[in-house]
């Protein structure tokens, strides 16, 4: 039994492993069939990453605006309270009389209380 052994040579050229960084720079990594098949998935992941980054920036901007508006509300509340207290003080009877006397308006405090005007409905 004499068998003949036949050697078959590969017709496909052997791939020479290149430096990964160098293949990325010269663009041969993008020509690889595995990468081309995965390109839609890579683009989808890139889109999701961009969406995530944009959402993050938007959320941070909203937080900054909210913080700024809270500070502004506190300042306006304090201003409102102080203005209200000042108005209450200036509207007291003694302060009104002082302001009238300071400006020499010639007004005097009424001694007689105001009278009530009654109108009959029958006429």
Q: What is the pLDDT of residues 69-96, one digit of tens each?
A: 999 999 999 999 999 999 999 999 889 8
H-type alpha helices, the chain: 20-26, 33-90, 93-102
Q: Is residue 4 part of a domain?
A: no
Q: Is residue 46 part of a domain?
A: yes
Q: Report the distance separating Cα 123 and Cα 113, nearest Å.
A: 28
Residues of the domain holding 85: 20-102
Q: Is residue 120 part of a domain?
A: no
Q: Report the distance separating Cα 123 and Cα 118, nearest Å.
A: 12
Domains contained in the chain, number = 1
Q: Model pTM greater than 0.85?
A: no
């Amino acid at each position: 039994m004499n068998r003949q052994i036949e050697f078959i040579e590969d017709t496909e050229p052997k791939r020479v492993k290149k430096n990964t960084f160098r293949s990325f720079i010269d663009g041969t990594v993008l020509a690889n069939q595995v990468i081309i098949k995965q390109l839609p998935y890579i683009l989808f992941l890139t889109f999701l990453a961009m969406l995530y980054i944009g959402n993050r920036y938007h959320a941070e901007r909203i937080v900054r605006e909210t913080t700024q508006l809270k500070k502004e509300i506190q300042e306006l509340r304090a201003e409102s309270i102080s203005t209200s207290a000042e108005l209450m003080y200036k509207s007291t009877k003694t302060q009104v009389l002082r302001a009238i006397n300071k400006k020499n308006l010639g007004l005097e405090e009424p001694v007689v209380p105001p009278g009530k005007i009654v109108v009959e409905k029958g006429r």
